[in-house]
Amino acid sequence: MKKDIQIPEVSNVFMAVVKEYNTTFRTDDWNVYIINNKAVDLEMVLIVSRGFDDQDTTSTIRRKIEKLPANSFAKVELIQPELFKLNNEFKVSFFEDNQLKDKIFLFEKGTIKDGSLRLISLPNSFGTDKKGILKK
């Protein structure tokens, strides 16, 4: 029965959109990161992203990370500012202790902007904090 289905809760896994200076191209880039703030590794991390609103939908992008170590982060993709007018959705699935877990992170349209940037401490980043928008 439906009441017997146990849906595991995802905690301490976050997505962040971070504004960073690209020294090669001398531009301010917006990058998407996945953050594992757990004491265990995440295995077979699948990230499916898309942008959408009532009229427009972007292509669906899929990424795979074999293993995201405990207390670490990984860059997922570069996101173009033209997409900020859309809802940006990231569906994340992974195995934690041989149990499949998933969560949807939604950056609503208009929320990715300079005025929303906050200091984000990335684990194991050698003390380098970034400015970005964090979704829990």
Give the CATH number of the domain where residue 45 resides: 2.60.40.1600
Residue 125 CA to residue 127 CA, distance in Å, equals 6
Q: Which residues pair with 61 in a beta bridge?
A: 49
Question: How many CB atoms are closer than 10 A to CB 105?
Answer: 22
Residue 46 neighbours by CB under 8 Å, 6+ apart: 62, 63, 64, 92, 93, 94
Q: What is the pLDDT of residue 126?
A: 52
Q: Is residue 84 included in any domain, yes or no?
A: yes
Q: Is residue 88 included in any domain, yes or no?
A: yes
Q: Is residue 80 included in any domain, yes or no?
A: yes
Residue 14 CA to residue 92 CA, distance in Å, equals 10
Counting the structural domains of the chain, the total is: 1
Q: What is the pLDDT of residue 127?
A: 59
Q: Is residue 1 included in any domain, yes or no?
A: no
Residue 117: C-alpha distances to residues 30, 80, 131 (Å): 11, 16, 6
Residue 73 CA to residue 120 CA, distance in Å, equals 12
Q: What is the pLDDT of residues 14-73, one digit of tens each?
A: 999 999 999 999 999 999 999 999 999 999 999 999 999 999 999 999 999 999 999 999
Q: Is residue 90 included in any domain, yes or no?
A: yes
Residue 23 neighbours by CB under 8 Å, 6+ apart: none
Q: Is residue 2 included in any domain, yes or no?
A: no
Q: What is the pLDDT of residues 73-88, one digit of tens each?
A: 999 999 999 999 999 9
- At 74 the three-state DSSP class reads strand
Q: What is the pLDDT of residues 91-114, one digit of tens each?
A: 999 999 999 999 999 999 999 999
Q: Is residue 119 included in any domain, yes or no?
A: yes
Domain that holds residue 54: 7-135
Q: Is residue 92 included in any domain, yes or no?
A: yes
